[in-house]
Structure 1
Amino acid sequence: MSNPPGLRDSKKAATRLMISNVATGLFLERGFENVSIDEIALEAGVARKTVFNYFPRKEDLVFDREDEGRELVRQAIAARGEQPPVLVFQALMRALVDEQHPMFRINRRPIQFWSAVADSPALTIRARELQGTLADDLAAILADALGRPHTDPEARLAASMLMGTLVVAYGEALRAFRTKRKVGEALAGVMERGFAGVNAALAGTPYVEREATPKPPRTSRSR
């Protein structure tokens, strides 16, 4: 008998995570350019084809959490009720920081990871590409929430400012860790300043303010 869909999906997710963890360990130890797909497959105990089935590009073995981030944002905005989508996004980011989600957890591992990225031209280029892609995806999610086209300039402005805020805030948190400053304060300080700028730029739009409930039309009374 074949495995039920839920079990198959769980096994696939576990295999994908295992391959990614093996690859990341090798990259941190020896450098991205110095590790081949064949070596990753051998270390992970899988076929070379299996690695490519899960990760079409070698760089994807390094940046493998963006889908999780997109899904968290989609779920939060889908359940937003009457709350403006940008404010929902900001609340989600604050919650992820407070709960020390891996996306915002700052310790020696992320320091090593981003140092490896900085040392690799290919990974540096891919990181910049992903930042643009994620901003485009966020703009589409925000626009969809209000029934607007994906080209809506207000959605694109909001998304680019939000992504820029997170990138700068995360970078400041890494620097705070290296210099033994309070990481949480460094991260939150930049993030809140950036969020305030987004809210000011989008003031008067339904991205940051609730849409006014239309009043029922007045009816004239006959005398």
Structure 2
Amino acid sequence: MTTDTLGLREQKKLETRQLISDQATRLFIERGFEETTIADIAHAARVAKKTVTNYFARKEDLALDHHEQFVASLANVVASRAPGQSALAALREAFLEAARQQNPVAGFAGLPFTRMIEQSPTLVARLRDLHEQREQALAAVLRAETNAVDDDITPDAVGAQLGAAHRVLFQQIQRLTLEGLPGDEVAERVTASALRVFDLLHPSLGDYAIRPRP
């Protein structure tokens, strides 16, 4: 099998996955997450039910399609911070940029999608779980970056504080979106909130996990 053939096959898989995700999102918004079945999604995407479950192990993953990126987001920011930059400074900079771009991973999902999540107890619970996973992933990177010993609770405590800060900001974005505010105004308000939140954390965490300069 040629490299071109492999490339076409992978492209086809990506296209099928995106088609399923798009159809699922449309149905979830139109009918509600709880009311939409895997069979409904398969029919809309013109694929077998097994194809849907092969691409998405959980129904919730069809709605929260970027869950892996979300869970890894804070850890990735800290792992790639610049020399001389602390974990807090890197996360502050990254969040302000995400707000400027109105990045969906930061919570800028638009009114229909945000309302769909808010009306589904299953998705609310899943999102809570993803926030916890993101916090744990961040703590793991902080532990590695600071060479903390196994019984040092500091990385876990710092990860919890930084994770909670992002969770509060995420929830504010959702709340303002549900109030019907346009994206630009949501971004402006949450930016002001983020500056306040990160300033509150700076006295205790401003010098934590500063990446050494070469």
TM-score interval, normalised by the smaller of the two chains: 0.7 to 0.9
- Where does 1:175-194 land on structure 2 (aligned, <5 Å)? 175-177=175-177, 178=179, 180=181, 182-194=185-197
RMSD, aligned CA: 2.9
- Where does 1:11-90 land on structure 2 (aligned, <5 Å)? 11-70=12-71, 73=74, 75-82=76-83, 83-90=85-92
TM-aligned CA deviation for residue 196 of structure 1? 2.0
**Which structure has the higher relative contact order (CA within 8 Å, separation 6+)?**
2
Q: Which of 1 and 2 has greater Rg? A: 1
Number of residues of Structure 1 aligned to a counterpart in Structure 2:
209
The DSSP-based 3-state class of the residue aligned with 1:147 is: coil
User: Would you tell me which structure has more helix in proportion to its own residues?
Assistant: 2
Report the counterpart of residue 99 of structure 1 in structure 2.
101
The DSSP-based 3-state class of the residue aligned with 2:64 is: coil
State how far apart, in whole Å, the 1-side matches of 2:128 and 2:68 are: 16
TM-aligned CA deviation for residue 179 of structure 1? 5.5
State how far apart, in whole Å, the 1-side matches of 2:78 and 2:59 are: 32
TM-aligned CA deviation for residue 58 of structure 1? 0.8
Deviates more, 1:131-140 or 1:194-203: 194-203
TM-aligned CA deviation for residue 71 of structure 1? 5.1
Report the counterpart of residue 201 of structure 1 in structure 2.
204
TM-aligned CA deviation for residue 137 of structure 1? 1.2
Report the counterpart of residue 147 of structure 1 in structure 2.
147
Cα deviation, 1:132-190, whole Å, max 9, x if unaligned, reads 11111121122222333576432222222222222322332344342548222211122
Return closer, same or farther for 1:75/1:120 CA change in 2, 3 Å cut-off. Answer: closer
Give the TM-score normalised by structure 2: 0.81
Return closer, same or farther for 1:11/1:92 CA change in 2, 3 Å cut-off. Answer: farther
The DSSP-based 3-state class of the residue aligned with 1:103 is: helix
TM-aligned CA deviation for residue 62 of structure 1? 1.2
Match of 2:23, as an amino acid? V
Check the 8 A contact 1:165/1:190 in 2, yes or no.
no
Return closer, same or farther for 1:192/1:4 CA change in 2, 3 Å cut-off. Answer: farther
Match of 2:26, as an amino acid? G
State how far apart, in whole Å, the 2-side matches of 1:74 and 1:13 are: 26
Give the TM-score normalised by structure 1: 0.78
Return closer, same or farther for 1:68/1:180 CA change in 2, 3 Å cut-off. Answer: closer
Unaligned ranges ≥5, structure 2: none
State how far apart, in whole Å, the 2-side matches of 1:136 and 1:31 are: 30
Match of 1:47, as an amino acid? A
Check the 8 A contact 1:86/1:142 in 2, yes or no.
no
State how far apart, in whole Å, the 2-side matches of 1:4 and 1:87 are: 45
